[in-house]
Amino acid sequence: MKRYIVKVILFCFPFLGLVAFVNIYYDPGEVFHSQNREASVLMIQGKNVLKTAIPNDWTDFHLSYIQERLRMKLPKHSTVLWGSSRSSEITKELTGRKDFHNFALPGSSILDHVAMINIFEELGVLPDTIILNIDPWMFYGRKTILKEGESFYILDKDQKLQCKKGLQPYFLKAIKNMGIKPNNFFLIKEENNAWSKFTAVLSPSYFQSSVKALNKKNNSPTTRSFTPGFFTIRSDGSYSLGTWEKKNIPRVRISSRIYASLWGENFFYEASLKSEYFKLLERFTAYLQNKKTTVYYFLAPVHPLIYPSQDINYQTKMEKEIKKLSAKYHVKVLGAFNPYVYPELIEKEYFIDSYHLSSEGMNIIMKSPWQ
């Protein structure tokens, strides 16, 4: 048996060795050597990031970019936006504030917003005004639904919002400062970096990505997210994602309809507002106000085709709760989930897709007086 095992190992070794070499050397997901920091610095300096460093995991990269920007001790911005891709089209021109900076983090949750304050506080760059983008999924509790034959089974297990990888330590420090005890609801298991490296070495799917990256390493990026022209540097120095789609409105219109039928039925199926997240926003607002920071809530409209097909109850209920909170803390609300509040939005296509306004669309929302 020993001889056989040795033979199998010797047989597999060259193959697995090759796989490991390709995966480590080409490293398309930057598991072994992240270039996020280098790429961030280059971008902040206004250089072409694609020629030297190729960021791949754009959420991680974005976080690194924000941290790097803050670390470089650039002049403090008096007005900043913390939000998701749904608010990434807000620029300093739209806000009318010269030292505005958009720190939108794609797909961010309330936990990410809370974590952000700690990054700013530690660096001593807490702004005077914060626009908090609030998304429909921000207080979203959804039970896991399994479909079996013609019956649905609902697992008594809530899906939890998650902090972005790397933001968890900031989040924990932030809630400690706010006097909130970490509980089961807020604690998220951090991804084990060593384990992800171990699995990536011989991973077949990683190997497939590595092979795809073979000839692209030195001249073009490996994922669509960083194709040239995908992101544009805005006038405030921040960057925006998703510009390629705006140029192709007819296609977008079709895809919006497909989205409507794909997502319309059950994106908010069995959704409920989670009081834990809501309370967190309340405490967070109070905390910011204690720090003499003016807070604005921003709600980006949903595509007019999508909005009616979603669970309107959920969205209107959420909007109502936000308005109650804004009245209690004297926080002004900009925008609304309901696109029909803005008749202009219905007249033309102002959306990149189901949930993202184009800059022209954003202009309509930001035209309304906000201070």
Partner 1 sequence: MLFNSLEFLIFFPLVTLIYFLIPHRFRWAHLLFASSIFYMAFIPVYILILFFTILIDYIAGILIENAQGEKRRWYLGLSLIANIGVLAIFKYYNFFITNMNDLLTVLNVSNKMGYLQIILPIGLSFHTFQAMSYTFEVYYGRQKAERHLGIYALYVMYYPQLVAGPIERPQNILPQLRTPQPFIASRVTDGLTLMMWGMIKKVVIADKLAFFADRLFSKPELYEGPAVVIGVIFFAFQIYCDFSGYSDIARGASRVMGIELMENFRRPYLSRSIHEFWKRWHISLSTWFRDYVYIPLGGNRKGIYRWLLNLLIVFLTSGFWHGASWNFIIWGALHGIFTILYAYFFLRKESRLAKISIPYWAGWIITFTVVSFAWIFFRATSFDDALLITKNLFSGWAILFQGKDALSALYLNYTFSSWLLSILLIAALLVIERMEEKKSIIAYIHSSKRWTRYAIYYIALLTLYLFGVYQQSSFIYFQF
Write out the residues near partner 1 by the rule CB under 8 A: 1, 4-5, 11, 15, 19, 146-151, 153-156, 199, 203-205, 207-208, 211, 261-262
11 vs 340, which CB is nearer to partner 1? 11
For the bound state, the minimum distance from the C-beta of residue 34 to partner 1, rounded and expressed in Å, comes to 23
1 vs 194, which CB is nearer to partner 1? 1
**Sheet strands (E) in the chain:** 79-82, 100-102, 129-133, 140-148, 151-158, 232-233, 239-240, 271-273, 294-299, 332-335
For the bound state, the minimum distance from the C-beta of residue 85 to partner 1, rounded and expressed in Å, comes to 24
52 vs 208, which CB is nearer to partner 1? 208
Residues 40 and 60: their CA atoms lie apart, in Å, by: 11
For the bound state, the minimum distance from the C-beta of residue 152 to partner 1, rounded and expressed in Å, comes to 9
For the bound state, the minimum distance from the C-beta of residue 16 to partner 1, rounded and expressed in Å, comes to 9
Residues belonging to the chain = 371
Residues 91 and 93: their CA atoms lie apart, in Å, by: 5
15 vs 32, which CB is nearer to partner 1? 15
For the bound state, the minimum distance from the C-beta of residue 20 to partner 1, rounded and expressed in Å, comes to 12
Query: Which DSSP string do the residues of 184-223 spell out, in sequence order?
Result: TTT--PPP-HHHHHHHHHH-HHHHHHHHHHTTTTTTS-SS
Dihedral angle sign, alpha carbons of residues 152, 186, 338, 59: negative
For the bound state, the minimum distance from the C-beta of residue 6 to partner 1, rounded and expressed in Å, comes to 12
CA geometry: angle 169, 174, 177, nearest 5 deg:
130
Nearest to 302 by CA among 312, 290, 292, 294: 312
CA atoms within 13 A on the CB side of 171: 23
156 vs 183, which CB is nearer to partner 1? 156
195 vs 218, which CB is nearer to partner 1? 195
